Amino acid sequence: MKKSLLAALAAATALGCLPVAAEDLITSDRVGPSDAPKKMVFRMTGDGPSSTDPTWAAGYTKLYTDFINNHPGWQLELQMMTGDISQEQARMLEQARAGHAPDCAAVDSFVLPLFKQAGVLKSLSPYFTKEEIDQLFPFVRDGVTGKDGQVYAWWWSTDLRVLYRNKEIVLNAPETWADAKAAALKSVEAGMEGILFNGSRYEGTGFDWLGNFWGQGGKLVDDAGKPVFADADNRDKFVKAVNYYRDLVESGAAPKRVATIGNYDDFNAAAAAGTTAMFVGGNWQYRQLQNSMEPEEFAKWTFSPLPGITADQRSTGTGGWTVAAFSSEPEKVEMCAALAREVYMGPANALQEQLPTRADLYDKYDIFKSEANQTFAKALKVGQARPGVLIYPEISNQIQIMMGKVLTGAATTDAAVDEAYKATLDAYARL
Amino acid sequence: MSARAVRPKLPFLWATGRHNRVPSPYPWLMPVILVMGLFYLYPVVDVFRYAFTDLTLLGGEGHYTLSTFGNVLMRPELLQILWVTFVFTAGSVLGQQVIGLAMALVVVRSEKRHLFGTTILRTTALIAWVVPGIAGGIIWKMLFNEAPFGGLNSLLRLLGMAPVQWLSDPDVVMWSVVLSNVWRGTAFSMVVMYAALKAIDPSLYEAAEVDGASARQKLFFVTLPQLRPAILVNMILITIQTLNTFDAIISLTGGGPGRATEVLSLYTFNVVFRNYDLAAGSVLSILMLVISLGLALVYAAFLPKDEKA
């Protein structure tokens, strides 16, 4: 009797502990058992179990649980980045130079050249097959490959900018700048704010707008990496693209408050509140709109490629995230590559509907066969990544400053462009 | 002859007198000196060292050079940055000082009359003070949002007034930023002024009353002269604090539109963390140090001599 009581108690205790053990496998800052002998520090964005989107958080929790179960003896220490990506990446670069970087981290694709230049990344080439590398889109492969031919990060997702619109108010997709202005003015007549876009001191301000410049064949830098965006060949295209935004504000097609917008969430809020009918946003916002709106409201929304100066002169900016290794321990570098492959390269794309960087993954996952994602994939064909040069952050900074002055009428377009160009060239000379 | 003059010079560790042994203070001070040196002095020395180099965050060893000073101080945007910094600092310091003093006077007067709400007023102000700068910036960004659903503009519309371009008008945005900073920093001034008001000798007010002074005369001829040292010390502290403020601005405007609200501390932050220019950031830090010290000396010159001692 006593023995059976003890056995029952032991069984109850064991059963009671099971859920606790399962809960403990993933905490806010750790994945895997806390007493695992091997540990890798991973600094990440919100693309993980702590995602603010409950669906994504649940999906990542499963992906990470499967991952850590496939790698017994390991635990991941998770370090979360804040929303100020530029600052986070700069800080991580400094830490890496001082030898204090995390073992593995999410690196924004547009600052990857800085990390490669600093020589702080470890090669991931041994952990990916030639076939996997060959499947990467060319601009992605070029972006992650160093001068020595080694792959220094795994670029797993890409994105692009499109024009969202409320079909009830703007029926046809604007194809040109003139179409966009006319449609925006029509939406203003319908009581809306007009077209919204990022226009404040924010990386997205320059990046979202650059498609208007690139679509005309404009170049930011030459083959040597020197800024040329306002030289004899490019200045006219650059000024025209700036004047497009200026005209939108001055004509009332866009509210002046665009000069204060520096967050894609503001567009979601305005769309959900029914105060705008058009905005320039990222492809990832399609799912966010779906999650935040009632189905009948979401059904009114659609998207199309960004308008161009003419219908056949269109482009869009493409970005995305990479996973890179900093550790000097090969075992941790391999673990980092495994994390990129098993969690992010494919599964995370499908979970978040973040566009994959490999052509074959569009066929592998059904979700990318949807009409919306097929349209995004087509738009990628005119996509352009930010130049992988050291001066790009300063070009972006100067475009943000210039845009603020132009949109608020604090300076003429010509003066603001010339000032931005001179400041960029000065910064280039100091590099 | 003063006591200090006859005190024997102490050896480093132990002073031995004829009849007793006087312990030297140095062993007791060493931990503080070491901590101060390690955590305060060393970074300052490093900043000065970096300023004489061309170091960046992008790699490379860097070389010693004087050219960084010239390059940074001759930048065309620096003059505008300094002007923006001046307006922001002057507006914030004046606002915090005046409103902090007014609130302290109200609190002291209310306490004397045992009025209801004194504690609520004090606590409310202190809550604003403990809100982190970034959070404060986000709160004010929501209030200043110029969208149809923005906080303050919705209120103005309810009152039948025209909305204000709080953040998109270059002529208004600086005052919006100053307002948010005054909101956050006033509690500190209130606390300093409150303590100083409590320390004023009540007999001065009794004497003024005997002389038939009005409330206004008591304020200008008793209270303010008595508060002068506290006001000056407070102004030194909040000036330095305001000069270093960038967290609230970065989350409210990011320094924009254009450079309309880019103060020196934010510019320094941008130079280091967005342009990766460590040497230029160090030169700008030294410039901030010089400005802070200069202003502190100016304020200190107005302190009564015995207060300075």
Q: ipTM of the assembly?
A: 0.82
CA distances for B69 relative to B44, B271, B282, B286, B290, angstroms? 17, 14, 9, 10, 14
- One domain, residues A331 and A228: no
Taking alpha carbons only, the member of A266, A338, A284, A29 closest to residue A161 is A284
Angle at B116 between CA B111 and CA B118, to 5 degrees: 50
- One domain, residues A25 and A173: no
Which residues in chain B are contacts of A114 at CB distance < 8 A?
58, 276
Residues 6+ away with beta carbon under 8 Å from A51 = A57, A60
CB B201 within 8 A of CB B111: no
Distance (Å) from the C-alpha of residue A61 to the closest C-alpha of chain B?
29
The backbone torsions φ and ψ at residue A339, rounded to the nearest 5 degrees and listed phi first, read -60, -45
- One domain, residues A42 and A141: yes
% chain B with pLDDT above 70:
91
CB B183 within 8 A of CB B127: no
**Burial label, B119 (beta-carbon count in 10 A; 0-12, 13-18, 19+):** exposed
Residue A83: pLDDT band (50, 70, 90) is confident
A314-323, A340-349, A351-360, A392-401: segment of lowest average pLDDT: A351-360
Residues 6+ away with beta carbon under 8 Å from A67 = A31, A338, A339, A342, A343
> Cβ separation of A256 and B256 shorter than 8 Å?
no
pLDDT at A429 over 90: no
- pLDDT value for B305: 67
Average pLDDT over residues B175-195: 94
Give dist(CA A78, CA A42) in Å, integer. 5
- Which amino acid, one-letter code, is at A338? A
- One domain, residues A125 and A191: no
pLDDT at B3 over 60: no
Which residues in chain A are contacts of B153 at CB distance < 8 A?
none
Give whichever of A359-373, B14-28, B292-306 has the largest mean pLDDT.
Answer: A359-373
Give dist(CA B54, CA B51) in Å, integer. 8
CB A255 within 8 A of CB A194: yes
Which domain-ending residue is among A362, A383, A404? A383
pLDDT at A4 over 70: no
- pLDDT value for B308: 47
- pLDDT value for B306: 60
**Is the minimum CB–CB distance between B218 and chain A shorter than 8 Å?**
no
Residue A28: pLDDT band (50, 70, 90) is confident
H-assigned helices in chain B: 3-6, 26-36, 42-51, 67-73, 78-112, 118-130, 133-144, 151-158, 170-198, 202-210, 215-218, 224-243, 247-252, 264-273, 278-301, 305-308
H-helix or E-strand spanning residue A393: helix A392-407
> Cβ separation of B58 and A117 shorter than 8 Å?
yes
Residue A12: pLDDT band (50, 70, 90) is very low
pLDDT at B9 over 70: no
- One domain, residues A425 and A299: yes
Number of structural domains in chain A: 2
Give whichever of A6-10, A30-34, A79-83, A163-167 has the largest mean pLDDT.
Answer: A163-167
Computed over every residue of chain B, the mean pLDDT equals 88
**Is the minimum CB–CB distance between B57 and chain A shorter than 8 Å?**
yes
Which residues in chain B are contacts of A430 at CB distance < 8 A?
54, 71, 277, 280
CB B256 within 8 A of CB B168: no
- pLDDT value for A20: 41
Q: Please state whether B29 falls in left (phi above 0), alpha (psi between -120 and 50) or beta.
A: alpha
- One domain, residues A292 and A323: no
Which domain-ending residue is among A365, A383, A401? A383
- One domain, residues A266 and A312: yes
> Cβ separation of A259 and B77 shorter than 8 Å?
no
- pLDDT value for A190: 94
% chain A with pLDDT above 70:
94
Give dist(CA A90, CA A97) in Å, integer. 11
Residue A380: pLDDT band (50, 70, 90) is confident
Q: Which residue has the higher pLDDT, A259 or A17?
A: A259
Q: Which domains does chain B have, with CATH numbers?
A: 83-308 (1.10.3720.10)
Range of the domain at A342: 2-158+319-383
Which residues in chain A are contacts of B147 at CB distance < 8 A?
193, 257, 266, 269-270, 273, 275
**Is the minimum CB–CB distance between B67 and chain A shorter than 8 Å?**
no
CB B258 within 8 A of CB A401: yes
- One domain, residues A151 and A178: no
- One domain, residues A110 and A202: no
pLDDT at A109 over 60: yes
Which residues in chain A are contacts of B169 at CB distance < 8 A?
256, 408
- One domain, residues A415 and A327: no
Q: Which one of B152, B274, B278 would you mutate to disrupt binding with A, by most A Cβ within 10 Å of its Cβ?
A: B274
- pLDDT value for B105: 95
- One domain, residues A377 and A335: yes
Cis peptide before B170 (omega within 30 of 0): no
Residues 6+ away with beta carbon under 8 Å from A210 = A220, A315, A317, A384, A386, A399
- pLDDT value for A142: 86
- Distance linking the first and last C-alpha atoms of chain A: 82
Give dist(CA B107, CA B116) in Å, integer. 11
> Cβ separation of A397 and B274 shorter than 8 Å?
yes
Average pLDDT over residues A236-243: 98
- One domain, residues A176 and A306: yes
- pLDDT tens, position by position, A29-61: 899 998 899 999 999 998 999 888 888 899 999
Strand A154-166 and strand A355-356: the pairing is antiparallel
The backbone torsions φ and ψ at residue A205, rounded to the nearest 5 degrees and listed phi first, read -60, -55
Taking alpha carbons only, the member of A67, A133, A125 closest to residue A360 is A133
- Which amino acid, one-letter code, is at A18? L
- Residue A179 is part of a domain; what is its CATH number? 3.40.190.10
Give dist(CA A221, CA A134) in Å, integer. 27
The token pair at A338 is 């495994």
